[in-house]
Amino acid sequence: MPTPSPVISLVIPIFNESSDISQNLQTILSAAYCGEDMPIEIIAVDDGSTDNTVEKIAALARNDSRIHLIELTRNFGKEAAIHAGLKAAEGKAVIILDADLQHPPELIPQMVKLWSSGVLVVEAIKADRGREPIASKVFSYIFYALFHFFTHLNIRGLCDFKLLDRHVVNTYLAFPENQRFFRGLIDWSGYPSARIPFKVALRKGTGGSRWSRFRLLCYAIDNITALSSLPLRIVSWTGAFSLALGLIIGILSLWQKWQGVALDGFTTINLLIVIIGGTVLMGLGIISHYLRRIYEEVKGRPSYLIKPKKNQGSNK
């Protein structure tokens, strides 16, 4: 009997989740069941795992035609894994969620119900971040505040746990850029959406977050500059401010000289050097960051590569 075409696709980026991946995928499939008229498929995207995650998913896929495995050639990052999964998904609606069950799959039937009523995007909102370290909460608050300031998009509490209508998926896939910020682009798109609050569950798997503070900082900078050119304008504003400050100090110096009030000027010169030098270097740093992004886009390399398919039974 042929497998019915999926109505709901679940895209799950995965990286080194071998300890719990088999149980977690089965839990997700069970919780996501929405009736026989809503067939489900899982697109499990392995983002270059170095453990035996792939073998475990492949074993599941051989016994369950709803599970399909995509292997990226190496670790390209979660954004690339989401992109690959969306491109492979065939459902009329696509749901993106994590493999560690921190995105509760029990919400999926509710998300599907909202989508069936005509909502194009259903977003899960973190109402409670759980036992997150204070430092992480502070970092998140600063990031969301800066992101809103620079992009005028409010993504506070949003995560990658979303349901997207096929029209939204096709629009997202049509975007030309390779360096993407999934949450930001979906919010930027402005499609009619509904939001469901949820409490972040304890992570099902070994270890904590694999993101260091430095990687998070770089990720935050990349995401802000991906959706805003305001930092470039700030360089111009800062340059104008430095020029105005220099003109004021220069006029004061000429006035004092004309009045015969002699100052050695050592402190003033040092102050000017620090202000102007710091401003120039900061401006060059911001400009070089945007040049790097332009360089990466102009090269035109794909954001991910997929391994050739093996004999994986029911896999696509």
Tens of pLDDT along 2-49? 566 789 999 999 999 988 999 999 999 999 998 888 999 999 999 999
Residues 51-69: tens digit of each pLDDT: 999 999 999 999 999 999 9
**Greatest distance between any 2 Cα atoms in the chain:** 100
- In sequence order, the β-bridge partners of residue 198 are 126
Q: Sign of torsion, CA 132 127 45 180?
A: negative
Residues 263-306: tens digit of each pLDDT: 555 566 766 777 777 778 778 888 888 888 888 888 888 889 99
Question: Which residues have C-beta within 8 Å of that of residue 299, sequence separation ≥ 6?
Answer: none
Average pLDDT over residues 57-84: 94
Question: DSSP for 176-244?
Answer: --SS--HHHHHHHHT--EEEEEEEPPPP-SSSS----HHHHHHHHHHHHHHH--HHHHHHHHHHHHHHH
| d(C-alpha 250, C-alpha 256), whole Å | 10
Answer for the pair 227, 151: CB distance below 8 angstroms, yes or no. Answer: yes
Considering only residues 155 and 103, tell me which one the structure prediction assigns the higher pLDDT. 103
Above 50 in pLDDT, residue 312?
A: no
Residue 271 has a CB neighbour count (10 Å cut-off) of 12
Above 80 in pLDDT, residue 212?
A: no
Answer for the pair 163, 95: CB distance below 8 angstroms, yes or no. Answer: yes
Across the chain, how many H-helices and E-strands are there? 10, 7
Answer for the pair 160, 78: CB distance below 8 angstroms, yes or no. Answer: yes
